[in-house]
Amino acid sequence: MFFTDPNYQVDPRLTLYTTRSAFAHLARETRRNYAGDCCLFFNFLWQRDKNWCHAEVEDLLDFEDWRRWSPRNPRRISGSKWDRELSALARLYKWATAKRYVAANPVVMREVLGRHGEMVSVPAQRAKDARSSNVKWLTPRAYRLWRDVGLRGYTADGRRDPSFRGRNDDRNAAYSDLLFSSGMRLSEGGSLLTFEVPALEESMKRFFDGRLAKAATKSRRERTFYVAVEDLRSVAVYERTTRRAVIRRAQARGVYEARDDIWVLKKRSGRQRSILHLWDENGQAVQRPLSSLDVEDRQRLFVEGDGGVEPLWLWLSQDGRPFQPHSWEAVYRAASERCRKVLEGKVAEPPYFTPHMARHFVSA
């Protein structure tokens, strides 16, 4: 990751920040969000003929006014969103101050009492109206209505809508069911490999368990997840149908053979079969612990199939390439918008759903 200014110049100091500081060890989604937050402030400064390293306290005060309260801004943000942007800037400018890349830190800090009685430094411009959490709930019945109408293209009376032009409806529904059943985060469920999905067995079990590798989780800790058997069946159907079809089309077009950065899995070993034996991009035999592979590494993993190499990444786009985890947000927004249009006036409140809400549900 690197930043370019409007003149397409790369600042080596910011490149150092994103690659050689604690920023590089943040979760992928956090890095993406923080980078976008910093860019907003950099653009604000550029309009004042200032570079990021010349920011002053007054600039940040004016930026907050623009982001939160100015009537000239049609997209004002909440206190919670401002606090996240402020955290991104505080992290950057604390590092830049220590490196002496800035004369003074524009993010004023103050000492407050922490939750365990210790004194901690926080930005003085933290919002006073920010909510610590805004948990929204959806019952399984309301969720199924959202999924069937929004993702599968059904009408309010439960029939297939002939005007629905959505693609990958079985993939989208299977992914959403998996998240709703397991409570995984968007990026955790979105970066699963095929062999990480629990195998369906002939048993009376209602739930099956799987393991999330630590490098693919936000907490950087390996943990167990549980999935209902009916949701596993949805994933299995997707793998046998839509996923298999897009792989065959991609193989016929030579999509995978054109890549020069793939790792091909030979076998798995170890007590939990978590050591991957691979052919790397140079044709060398290497071993990688599954726990060490982050989201980017996982997209490079392939296996030899009947028609050639194919991805181990579970969720694929129409062209057979890995479907990026952050892209699920757009899928969910489109589904909620469809529910609003189709169900308005037919139900008391058309369901609205996000990937994060899958972490909070109540039984019907």
Query: Using one digit for the tens of pLDDT, what is the confidence trace for 49-85?
Result: 999 999 999 999 999 999 999 988 888 998 889 999 9
SS (H, E, C) 337-363: HHHHHHHECCECCCCCCCHHHHHCCCC
* Domain end among 71, 94, 123: 123
Q: Please check whether residues 249 and 324 belong to one and the same domain.
A: yes
Looking at residue 135, its pLDDT comes to 52
Q: Is 212 helix (H, G, I), strand (E, B) or coil?
A: strand
pLDDT value of position 238: 96
Domains identified in the chain, total number? 2
Last residue of a domain, one of 75, 96, 123: 123
Rounded distance, CA 249 to CA 41, Å? 43
Both 182 and 229 in one domain: the answer is yes
Is the residue at 16 inside a domain? yes
Q: What is the pLDDT of residue 363?
A: 41
CB 101 within 8 A of CB 94: no
Residue 320 and residue 187 share a domain: yes
Same-domain check for residues 147 and 56: no
Would you give the DSSP letter of residue 72? Answer: T
Are residues 110 and 49 part of one domain? yes
Residue-range definition of the domain harbouring residue 61: 12-123
362 alpha-carbon distance from chain centroid: 24
Residue 364: inside a domain, yes or no?
no
pLDDT of amino acid 151: 96
Note the pLDDT of residue 217.
Answer: 84
CA 20 → CA 52, 172, 201, distances in Å?
Answer: 19, 37, 46
Q: What is the pLDDT of residue 360?
A: 61
- CATH of residue 108's domain is 1.10.150.130
Residues 74 and 146 in one domain: no
Q: Is residue 163 part of a domain?
A: yes
Q: Give the separation between CA 297 and CA 263, rounded to whole angstroms.
A: 9
CA distance 90 to 88: 6
- pLDDT < 70 positions in the chain: 116, 129-137, 360-364
Give the whole-angstrom CA distance, residue 338 versus residue 334: 6
Q: Containing H/E element for 264? A: strand 263-269
113 and 144 assigned to the same domain: no
CB atoms < 10 A from the CB of 133, how many?
6
What CATH number is given to the structural domain containing 242?
1.10.443.10
Q: Let me know if residue 309 belongs to a domain.
A: no
Whether 109 is in a domain gets the answer yes
Domain C-terminal end among 69, 96, 123: 123
155 & 242 share domain: yes
Whether 176 and 65 map to the same domain: the answer is no
- What pLDDT was estimated at residue 221? 84
Q: Are residues 321 and 194 in the same domain?
A: yes
Per-residue pLDDT tens over the stretch 128-176: 766 554 556 678 889 999 999 999 999 999 999 999 988 899 999 999 9
Which residue's entry shows tokens 């065959």?
Answer: 248
- Whether residue 337 is contained in a domain is answered as no
Domain-embedded: residue 204? yes
Residues 318, 199 share a domain? yes
The residues, ordered by sequence, that sit 6+ positions from 302 with a Cβ below 8 Å of its Cβ are 256, 262, 263, 264, 265, 309, 310, 311, 312
The reply to whether 167 and 95 lie within a common domain is no
* Residue 336 is assigned to a structural domain of this protein: no
Alpha carbon distance 298, 68 (integer Å): 38
